[in-house]
Amino acid sequence: MKQEINRHDILAKITPLIENTAMRFGYIPIETDFVKENHRWFLRIYLYSREKDVTLDDCENVTRSLSDFLDEIIPVKYYLEVSSPGLERKFKSDKEFIYFKGRRISLKLKQPLQGEEEKIFKGEILDFDENEGLSFFRFEDGKELQIPAQNIQSAKLYID
């Protein structure tokens, strides 16, 4: 008999546990995903910290701290992957603009800003607010831009 799995219910149950465990090690879980790929379940957790880099040892420590508790909550066999967000991570939510404040990003807009022709910029996140949008320092000309959140098509971390 095939077991029905509601991944959203499982994520709702495990998210507080993941957040608390990550915070004990000084990290923020910026993304947690529970997906089925090729008939296998994967739980992927991406950790971030402004103060320090995510190391392999840290990922291993978080994995060991979580695995027994997760095994009690998740009713199917799954593979746990804990890692850093990566050097050129593509943003998946607006909250990442807050987490990565001060970092360099590559930004693609849906529409050019008024008085501009380009839709792709490289720069630094100055600030982000859901209502005000993104305050952005553009490297090309040293201009500070205010970009409405609804005009952002995509963003990713940028490394020189």
> What's the pTM value of the predicted model, to 2 decimals?
0.78
31 and 76 share a domain?
yes
Average pLDDT of 64-89? 92
CATH number at residue 141: 2.30.30.180
In this structure, is residue 90 part of a structural domain? no
Q: What's the whole-number average pLDDT of the chain?
A: 90
pLDDT (tens digit, 9 = 90+) per residue, 115-158?
888 899 899 999 999 888 899 898 888 889 899 999 999 999 88
pLDDT at 2 over 60: no
79 and 102 share a domain?
no
pLDDT at 4 over 80: no
72 and 112 share a domain?
no
Residue owning tokens 């095994």: 71
Cα angle, residue 106 at apex, residues 104 and 110 outer, rounded to 5°: 140
pLDDT (tens digit, 9 = 90+) per residue, 51-72?
888 999 999 999 999 999 999 9
% the chain with pLDDT above 90: 63
Strand partners, 44: 33, 81
pLDDT band at 1 (very low <50, low <70, confident <90, very high): very low
Compute the distance between CA of residue 59 and CA of residue 57 in angstroms, rounded to an integer: 5
What token pair was written down for 66? 């979580």
What token pair was written down for 76? 């199917």
18 and 71 share a domain?
yes
In this structure, is residue 1 part of a structural domain? no
Domain encompassing residue 24: 7-83
Query: For residue 62, what are the CA distances in angstroms to 51, 52, 65, 142?
Result: 17, 15, 5, 40
